[in-house]
A and B are shown apart, each in its own frame.
Chain A
């Protein structure tokens, strides 16, 4: 089965979801992300969804759960590039994504990750 590739850049992981995919693949991605965080000690994960023109409750929930799980094992997740129509639909659908960091594009995503990590390091030093 096809798999979504996970790239590593410094202490970040970068994932770009390029096409509409089915439930199984997104589930596998979730596992792969968590395993890769453990394996590489990544501190942050960027998931770019700007190419997706649909995100139903299953996919949104799986992404959200991945973000929460990643948080539990020490990595922050930022989802980038949610399309306007997808955002409106998710709000209407009623899925809460409060716990997930979002950014307009990868650049902003990087900024947010850096801020979050600096903040965390600062707290840990205290």
Chain B
């Protein structure tokens, strides 16, 4: 099973979290995990919209280890210092909490960020099937 969602306007953030929830539900995740994955998606999709303008969400049903993978990629400005961006409270948006990335990490089992300044960002999250 595989699926993609394009992010290019604010409505797509809503669409992405709906698609992701349905995907997770279809795979057999419980309601709490569905909500966690959908919320993580919302945070990462909003980052794409906010910082890169547009990008792509790809969903995969991984068999071994059994779980769900979501890949968020964009060709935006990239992240200068990834470990700094992962810190709670770090933000380049005025009035934001800088909670998106560190919060998302707590909602999933694995999270990896690959980013090249000037080229783009790729965030990969994985939720294990319990």
- By a beta-carbon cutoff of 8 Å, the part of chain A in contact with chain B is 20-24, 53-58, 61, 83-86, 88-89, 92-95
A94 touches B35 (CB 8 A): no
| Complex Cα spacing A115 to B11, Å | 39
Asked if B31 is at the interface (CB within 8 A of a chain A CB), the reply is: yes
| CB closest chain-B residue, reference A91 | B106
For A88, the chain B residues whose CB sits under 8 A away are 32, 35-36
- Among A22, A24, A53, A89, contact of B107 (Cβ-Cβ < 8 Å): A89
- Among B10, B17, B100, B104, contact of A54 (Cβ-Cβ < 8 Å): B17
9 shortest interchain CB distances as A-B pairs: A56-B42, A85-B35, A93-B103, A85-B32, A22-B14, A85-B31, A22-B10, A89-B35, A92-B106
For A93, the chain B residues whose CB sits under 8 A away are 39, 99, 103-104, 106-107
For B31, the chain A residues whose CB sits under 8 A away are 84-85
Contacts A23-B46, A94-B99 known; list 18 others, CB within 8 Å.
Answer: A20-B14, A20-B17, A20-B18, A54-B21, A54-B35, A54-B38, A56-B43, A57-B43, A57-B99, A58-B46, A84-B31, A85-B34, A85-B35, A88-B32, A89-B107, A95-B97, A95-B99, A95-B103
B107 touches A23 (CB 8 A): no
| CB closest chain-A residue, reference B107 | A92
CB<8 Å pairs between A and B, sample of 30: A20-B18, A22-B13, A23-B10, A23-B46, A54-B17, A54-B35, A54-B38, A54-B42, A56-B17, A56-B39, A56-B46, A57-B43, A57-B97, A57-B99, A57-B103, A58-B42, A84-B31, A84-B32, A85-B36, A88-B32, A88-B35, A88-B36, A92-B103, A92-B107, A93-B39, A93-B103, A93-B104, A95-B97, A95-B99, A95-B103
Known: A24-B10, A85-B34. A53 touches B21 (CB 8 A): yes
Convert B97-122 into 0s and 1s, putting 1 for each residue whose CB lies closer than 8 angstroms to a CB of A.
Answer: 10110111011000000000000000
For B88, the chain A residues whose CB sits under 8 A away are 94
| Complex Cα spacing A54 to B39, Å | 7
For B99, the chain A residues whose CB sits under 8 A away are 57, 93-95
| Complex Cα spacing A84 to B46, Å | 24
| Complex Cα spacing A57 to B46, Å | 10
